[in-house]
Amino acid sequence: MKIKYLLPILFGLTVLLSCENNHKETLEKENTAEFNYVVEQFADIKILRYQIPGFDELTLKQKKLVYYLSEAGMAGRDIIYDQNYRYNLQIRRSFEQVYQNFKGDKTTDEWKGFETYLKRVWFSNGIHHHYSTAKFKPEFSKDYLTMLLNETGAKLNMDAFDAIFNDADSKKVNLDASKGLLAGSAVNFYSPNITAEEVDAFYASKIDKSDETPIEYGLNSKLVKNEDGTIEEKVWKVDGMYGKSIEKILFWLEKAASVAENEKQAEALKLLIQYYQTGNLETWDQYNIAWATNTEGDIDYINGFIEVYNDPKAFRGSYESLVQIKDFDMSKKMAVVSENAQWFEDNSPLMEEHKKKNVVGVSYKTVNVASESGDSSPATPIGVNLPNNNWIRQNHGSKSVSLGNIIHAYNNAGGTEKLKEFAYDEAEIKAETEYGQLVGKLHTSLHEVIGHASGLINPGIGQPKETLKNYASTLEEARADLVGLYYLPSEKLVEMKISPNAEGIGKAAYDGYIRNGLLTQLIRLNLGDDVEESHMRNRQLVAAWAFEKGAKENVIEKVMRDSKTYFVIRDYVKLRVLFGELLREIQRIKSEGDFEAGKALVETYGVKVDQDIHKEVLDRNSKFKSAPYSGFVNPVLVPEKDLEGNIIDIKITQPDSFSEQMLEYAKMYTTLPDVN
């Protein structure tokens, strides 16, 4: 599970998610020259840079480990393009050839439209928006693209050409069952001739709901229907689908294993290698246990087919990689959260039968990212909690990380101008300014460490992707958010010495969450659209449910002032009670596999948008120039070698532009054919 894009949703406010002053000082000391965090802005995207504090203090062996893991991640870059849509690789490569070879007029509106389209493809790993998942509309004509292809010799087959301009495959991920979860989704996890009902039947024959240690069925394969009507999984492994990319991934993972920091880390890497070789999901579970229980060392990583947000059926994992270096000071400060995991579970508002009696091995670290690829790049999470398999989390524990340098970069690239527009009064602005930094850090920690690790599924019920289906991700993120919201005003955090003021932290957290869930996140939608993305649905669900349920007691009041809408919290204590009630109900839904109740919650509160408020929010936001979404170029790790070719050091440089890095990646990490 991951917290993704939280900062840009909240306008990248400097007061939202930040590290403490001593962490900022560390970053400043490591690079005394003023660092330029902003690369460029186009469409609705802002491209940023991040630094890697602490890298120079690593040993050469550790630097090699970071480098090898980073190269392993980049080697799989083509996979996410193909997973996202069957024509993405053709389109990207054709457009890259045009971009580099066209000698004609580059001052026209159509060329600028073409250039922006390509940059959007790079950013979203395909032709569908990374967040809304809607297909991009080109700002150039068919005739113009034909001319560009002819002028440069670039090739694009007719199906891929038509896909750019037609209305087919308009959503990468469709979660509206009435439109067909698979028929309405362009994502390339299923052959076009297979139905959602056939997927359900295929896995129903395989899944034993009484199995207490189930594998993550379908996680690493494409499901296809053959001409004779039989259905099979095309497994992503070295001698299967995506084999050419996986060969390169394995090359670098084997190098990484040779410089592992300790035996446990080496063991986990060897299991990951074995998994890529065989595609065996039982080996994947063994790897995740080894990985989750190894909390030693300064370097860690994520690599594999992991998050299922892009699958409307919640089976198949998108490829991603993240390489990270431990932030020692911040990890020490926040370790107290994981140390008290059992207290949080025992004192939660969940039904007693849904509480874990022994919360196992929840580790939490603040880390500094060294490299990201696949579904984690260029748009990145700010917090991650893995593994996702519930029984592993319950029996062996999990790892939670907060990406400190990513958060730092967001904060240094943003501004506070939008806060004054959407906050109700000076008291709300003051609370956000005073406590917002710590609120964001604490909520991320509680969401990942306590939220995703809490709660029990009743025996024999099955996993949420089987029981809650297309609503599973939204409900899980809402559940984790609610855990954080319930505890943020708690005196326990003050006792743990990580919160200075329970009331102040609670008010700032609740104001910001309601403001975002009911107003400000709407800037990400086109007028008339429903909420589609799981994290956005989650936030609207929580905020809208609390607003409705507290209406009789005026817990949250809708206020009009100067023709502008505000949602003002009038009773913070009662709002906390409401958050606890919703948390209890969503955990019950998960524990009992109550699909109908889960569907009713999401569809009633998380999907539809008040169009008058939406138009108003868009109008109010239109005066601001900052893009609503942000992502990153990666620092470049450059090995220095002696005359014999041995690495003697790794240096860091920064790319000059987004286009430069994307074209360099295309040159270095092209591993798959256009059609897979």
How far CA 300 is from CA of 370, 382, 406, 454, 460, in Å, comes to 10, 16, 16, 24, 34
Planar angle of CA 156, 158, 164, nearest 5 degrees: 80
Beta-strand runs (E) in 485-641 = 556-561, 564-569, 629-632, 636-641
Look at residue 30 and tell me whether its pLDDT is greater than 50: no
Planar angle of CA 436, 439, 442, nearest 5 degrees: 155
Question: CA–CA separation, 607 vs 575, rounded Å?
Answer: 22
pLDDT tens digits, 67-82: 999 999 999 999 999 9
pLDDT tens digits, 226-251: 999 999 999 999 999 999 999 999 99
pLDDT tens digits, 153-178: 999 999 999 999 999 999 999 998 88
For residues 325 and 370, the answer to whether their CB atoms sit within 8 Å is yes
Paired strand residues for 41: 46
Residue 359: what pLDDT?
A: 87
Mean pLDDT of 579-594: 98
Residue 407: what pLDDT?
A: 84
Paired strand residues for 559: 566
For residues 454 and 356, the answer to whether their CB atoms sit within 8 Å is yes
Look at residue 5 and tell me whether its pLDDT is greater than 80: no
Collect all residues with Cβ–Cβ distance below 8 Å to 348 and sequence separation of at least 6.
355, 454, 483, 486, 583
Would you place residue 4 in the very low, low, confident or very high pLDDT band (cuts 50, 70, 90)?
Answer: low
Residue 410: what pLDDT?
A: 84
Would you place residue 20 in the very low, low, confident or very high pLDDT band (cuts 50, 70, 90)?
Answer: very low
Look at residue 31 and tell me whether its pLDDT is greater than 70: no
Nearest to 483 by CA among 577, 356, 352, 348: 348
> Which element (helix H / strand E) includes 362?
strand 362-374
Which bin fits 420, alpha (ψ -120 to 50), beta or left (φ > 0)?
Answer: alpha
pLDDT tens digits, 288-340: 999 999 999 999 999 999 999 999 999 999 999 999 999 877 777 778 998 99
Question: CA–CA separation, 95 vs 675, rounded Å?
Answer: 16
Q: What is the pTM of this model?
A: 0.83
> Which element (helix H / strand E) includes 139?
none
For residues 82 and 672, the answer to whether their CB atoms sit within 8 Å is yes
Axis crossing angle, helix 426-445 with helix 404-413, rounded to the nearest 10: 160
> Which element (helix H / strand E) includes 381?
strand 381-386
pLDDT tens digits, 510-543: 999 999 999 999 998 989 999 988 999 999 999 9
Residue 465: what pLDDT?
A: 87
Whole-angstrom distance between the N-terminal and C-terminal Cα of the chain? 28
Residue 449: what pLDDT?
A: 86
- Tokens describing residue 46: 């802002």
Mean pLDDT of 411-416: 70
Look at residue 356 and tell me whether its pLDDT is greater than 60: yes
> Which element (helix H / strand E) includes 91?
helix 88-101
Collect all residues with Cβ–Cβ distance below 8 Å to 566 and sequence separation of at least 6.
422, 424, 519, 558, 559, 560
Maximum alpha-carbon separation in the chain: 77
Look at residue 58 and tell me whether its pLDDT is greater than 90: yes
- Tokens describing residue 512: 């910001």
Would you place residue 415 in the very low, low, confident or very high pLDDT band (cuts 50, 70, 90)?
Answer: low
Residue with tokens 């840079």, as numbered in its chain? 49
pLDDT tens digits, 189-205: 999 999 999 999 999 99
Residue with tokens 């590290």, as numbered in its chain? 19
Would you place residue 574 in the very low, low, confident or very high pLDDT band (cuts 50, 70, 90)?
Answer: very high
Question: CA–CA separation, 383 vs 322, rounded Å?
Answer: 11
Residue 413: what pLDDT?
A: 74
Paired strand residues for 561: 564
Mean pLDDT of 357-365: 82
Look at residue 405 and tell me whether its pLDDT is greater than 50: yes
Residue 414: what pLDDT?
A: 61
Please give the share of the chain, as a percent, with pLDDT higher than 90.
82
Nearest to 457 by CA among 209, 654, 227: 209
Mean pLDDT of the chain, nearest integer: 92
Collect all residues with Cβ–Cβ distance below 8 Å to 538 and sequence separation of at least 6.
474, 475, 477, 478, 481, 606
Look at residue 28 and tell me whether its pLDDT is greater than 80: no
Would you place residue 468 in the very low, low, confident or very high pLDDT band (cuts 50, 70, 90)?
Answer: very high
Look at residue 32 and tell me whether its pLDDT is greater than 70: no
Residue 34: what pLDDT?
A: 83
Question: CA–CA separation, 572 vs 92, rounded Å?
Answer: 50
For 626-665, give the DSSP string. Answer: S-SEEEEPPPEEEEEE-TTS-EEEEEEE--S-HHHHHHHH
In this predicted model, which residue has the larger pLDDT, 12 or 53? 53
Look at residue 417 and tell me whether its pLDDT is greater than 90: no
Cis peptide before 381 (omega within 30 of 0): no
SS3 category, 169: coil
Amino acid identity of residue 498, one-letter, is: I
Question: CA–CA separation, 420 vs 425, rounded Å?
Answer: 8
Question: CA–CA separation, 428 vs 434, rounded Å?
Answer: 10
Mean pLDDT of 268-280: 98
Look at residue 1 and tell me whether its pLDDT is greater than 80: no
Residue 2: what pLDDT?
A: 67
Look at residue 462 and tell me whether its pLDDT is greater than 80: yes
How far CA 262 is from CA of 259, 266, 300, 310, in Å, comes to 9, 6, 12, 34
Would you place residue 639 in the very low, low, confident or very high pLDDT band (cuts 50, 70, 90)?
Answer: very high
Question: CA–CA separation, 646 vs 648, rounded Å?
Answer: 6
Question: CA–CA separation, 341 vs 617, rounded Å?
Answer: 39
Residue 333: what pLDDT?
A: 74
Question: CA–CA separation, 277 vs 456, rounded Å?
Answer: 33
pLDDT tens digits, 444-455: 889 988 998 899
Residue with tokens 């286009």, as numbered in its chain? 659
Question: CA–CA separation, 304 vs 245, rounded Å?
Answer: 12
Cis peptide before 214 (omega within 30 of 0): no
Question: CA–CA separation, 670 vs 92, rounded Å?
Answer: 11
Residue 408: what pLDDT?
A: 83
For residues 446 and 487, the answer to whether their CB atoms sit within 8 Å is yes
Nearest to 124 by CA among 243, 44, 231: 44
- Tokens describing residue 629: 């979404």
- Tokens describing residue 413: 């690239």
Instruction: Report CA Rg, the chain.
Output: 24
For residues 611 and 525, the answer to whether their CB atoms sit within 8 Å is no
How far CA 523 is from CA of 44, 517, 526, 532, 614, in Å, comes to 10, 11, 8, 14, 8
Look at residue 22 and tell me whether its pLDDT is greater than 60: no
Nearest to 142 by CA among 124, 163, 122, 127: 163
For residues 99 and 118, the answer to whether their CB atoms sit within 8 Å is yes
- Alpha-carbon torsion, ordered 611, 612, 615, 616, to 10 deg: -150
DSSP state of 480: H
